[in-house]
């Protein structure tokens, strides 16, 4: 693999990982790097250089060598078919992230901006992680992490992520709500939210309606909110989710804590789909990511939108600079 050399470049330096090379990652990286919206930073691309060359030829895009970036080549191990899961895709995507995270831990890059990997390919390659968040937490040797999505005027953190709705109530515990709220509270100044006003979603319709529609609000969420306020966290709720996101979008709160995946992501993606960004809280380095998957169904069409990746690059550069100053 090549070494990172920035040739005296004093701009912020960010890793840009390709994700699964059988998906749209190579295409959106080339489009984002060639965009007038590209942020002013030094980018280091991690992934199979051959996949970038293939997409440039297929779609008439400028090759990576003309785009003013450093390349850390992660050669493919085995056959790869566009739009299909494979061990080769899983190996390449994981090795790119592992190498980039190692460089971030050593301070060689300010953080990671990640294109989407494919969980099936990752598992086919023998890796145990269900996704980027768990992989990066293990590499960084931290367990206190959370996902926060930024889209439109919303910032939404999740208490639970990829689990069935049936299993959500038992996973929404006093400890988990407090843990995620503390991460959000610590992170908000990096987003220029100095007041750090946080709102907590209810789990049930009408936030339980005083126990008529469920007891989780009374048993878990109200005590968690009270305990957090006693710690100095500016948090209110639980509030009915059907009205809370509108209040947050109007500026009443700086962030919302949602209790399960779709409760939080539906409003974020409605407010800013194609431009929303996933930020991992709790890591010792910045990590941002796109709001979509590998899009195997359109990978050969040349129509992938780089908007979310561009926003992830912008936010990643901004957060890395602010963390550095702090």
Q: Answer yes or no: do 8 and 31 share one domain.
A: yes
Residue range 57-84, pLDDT digits in tens: 999 999 999 999 999 999 999 999 999 9
Q: Answer yes or no: do 198 and 253 share one domain.
A: yes
Domain that holds residue 46: 1-142+283-326
Q: Answer yes or no: do 171 and 238 share one domain.
A: yes
CATH number at residue 2: 3.40.718.10
How far apart are alpha carbons 81 and 10 in whole angstroms?
39
Q: Answer yes or no: do 11 and 134 share one domain.
A: yes
Calculate mean pLDDT across residues 246-257.
96
Cβ atoms of residues 255 and 195 within 8 Å: no
Q: Answer yes or no: do 26 and 82 share one domain.
A: yes
How far apart are alpha carbons 301 and 316 in whole angstroms?
28
Residues sharing a CB contact under 8 Å with residue 118, sequence separation 6 or more, in sequence order = 19, 20, 22, 23, 85, 89, 90, 93, 293, 294, 296
Residue 194 is predicted with a pLDDT of 85
Q: Answer yes or no: do 87 and 129 share one domain.
A: yes
Cβ atoms of residues 274 and 236 within 8 Å: no
How far apart are alpha carbons 35 and 7 in whole angstroms?
23
Q: Answer yes or no: do 157 and 240 share one domain.
A: yes
- H or E element, residue 71: strand 70-73
Q: What are the Cα distances from residue 53, in Å, to 18, 48, 49, 50? A: 13, 9, 6, 5
Overall domain count for the chain: 2
3-state secondary structure of 148: strand
- Of the ranges 135-139, 240-244, 274-278, which one carries the lowest mean pLDDT score? 274-278
Does the pLDDT at position 325 exceed 50? yes
Residue 280 is predicted with a pLDDT of 96
How far apart are alpha carbons 92 and 46 in whole angstroms?
9
Does the pLDDT at position 5 exceed 70? no
Contacts for 131-134: CB closer than 8 Å, 24+ residues apart: 131/162, 132/97, 132/280, 132/287, 132/289, 133/161, 133/280
Q: Answer yes or no: do 115 and 165 share one domain.
A: no
How far apart are alpha carbons 276 and 153 in whole angstroms?
10
How far apart are alpha carbons 153 and 197 in whole angstroms?
14
Average pLDDT, the chain: 93
How far apart are alpha carbons 119 and 12 in whole angstroms?
30
Chain mean position to CA 22:
20
Q: Answer yes or no: do 154 and 241 share one domain.
A: yes
Helices (H), 146-214: 168-171, 174-187
Cβ atoms of residues 183 and 231 within 8 Å: no
Of 274, 294, 316, which residue sits at a domain end? Answer: 274
Q: Answer yes or no: do 61 and 170 share one domain.
A: no
Query: What number of other Cβ atoms are within 10 A of residue 192's Cβ?
Result: 9
How far apart are alpha carbons 115 and 134 in whole angstroms?
16
Percent of the chain beyond pLDDT 90? 85
Q: What are the Cα distances from residue 52, in Å, to 28, 41, 46, 147, 268? A: 10, 20, 11, 29, 30
Does the pLDDT at position 7 exceed 50? no
Band (6; pLDDT cuts 50, 70, 90): very low
Residue 323 is predicted with a pLDDT of 79
Cβ atoms of residues 253 and 246 within 8 Å: no
Residue 2 is predicted with a pLDDT of 36
Q: Answer yes or no: do 177 and 216 share one domain.
A: yes
Band (1; pLDDT cuts 50, 70, 90): very low
Residue range 119-131, pLDDT digits in tens: 999 999 999 998 8
Handedness of CA 125, 129, 135, 138 (dihedral sign): negative
Instruction: Dump strand ranges (E) for 240-312.
Output: 255-258, 277-281, 286-289
Cβ atoms of residues 50 and 75 within 8 Å: yes
Does the pLDDT at position 324 exceed 70? no
């Amino acid at each position: 693999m090549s070494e990172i050399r920035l040739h005296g470049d004093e701009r912020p330096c960010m890793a840009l990982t390709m994700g699964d090379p059988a998906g749209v990652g190579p295409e959106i990286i080339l489009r984002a790097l060639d965009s007038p919206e590209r942020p002013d930073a030094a980018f280091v691309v991690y992934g199979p250089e051959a996949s970038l060359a293939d997409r440039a030829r297929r779609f008439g895009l400028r090759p990576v060598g003309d785009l003013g970036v450093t390349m850390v080549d992660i050669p493919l191990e085995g056959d790869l078919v566009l739009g299909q899961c494979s061990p080769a895709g899983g190996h390449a995507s994981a090795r790119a992230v592992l190498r980039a995270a190692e460089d971030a831990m050593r301070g060689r890059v300010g953080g990671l901006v990640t294109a989407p990997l494919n969980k099936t390919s990752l598992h086919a390659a023998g890796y145990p992680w269900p996704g980027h968040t768990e992989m990066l937490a293990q590499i960084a040797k931290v367990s206190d992490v959370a996902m926060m999505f930024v889209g439109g005027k919303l910032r939404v953190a999740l208490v639970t992520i990829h689990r069935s709705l049936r299993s959500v109530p038992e996973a929404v515990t006093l400890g988990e709500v407090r843990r995620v709220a503390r991460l959000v509270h610590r992170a908000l100044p990096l987003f220029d939210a100095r007041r750090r006003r946080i709102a907590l979603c209810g789990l049930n319709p009408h936030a339980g309606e005083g126990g008529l529609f469920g007891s989780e609000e009374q048993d878990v969420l109200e005590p968690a909110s009270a305990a957090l306020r006693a710690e100095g966290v500016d948090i209110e709720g639980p509030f009915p989710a059907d009205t809370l996101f509108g209040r947050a979008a109007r500026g009443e709160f700086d962030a919302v804590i949602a209790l399960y995946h779709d409760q939080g992501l539906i409003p974020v993606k409605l407010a800013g789909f194609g431009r929303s960004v996933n930020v991992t809280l709790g890591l010792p380095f910045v990590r941002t990511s796109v709001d979509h998957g590998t899009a195997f169904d359109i990978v050969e069409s040349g129509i992938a939108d780089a908007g979310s990746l561009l926003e992830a690059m912008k936010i990643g550069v901004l957060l890395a600079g602010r963390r550095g100053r702090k």
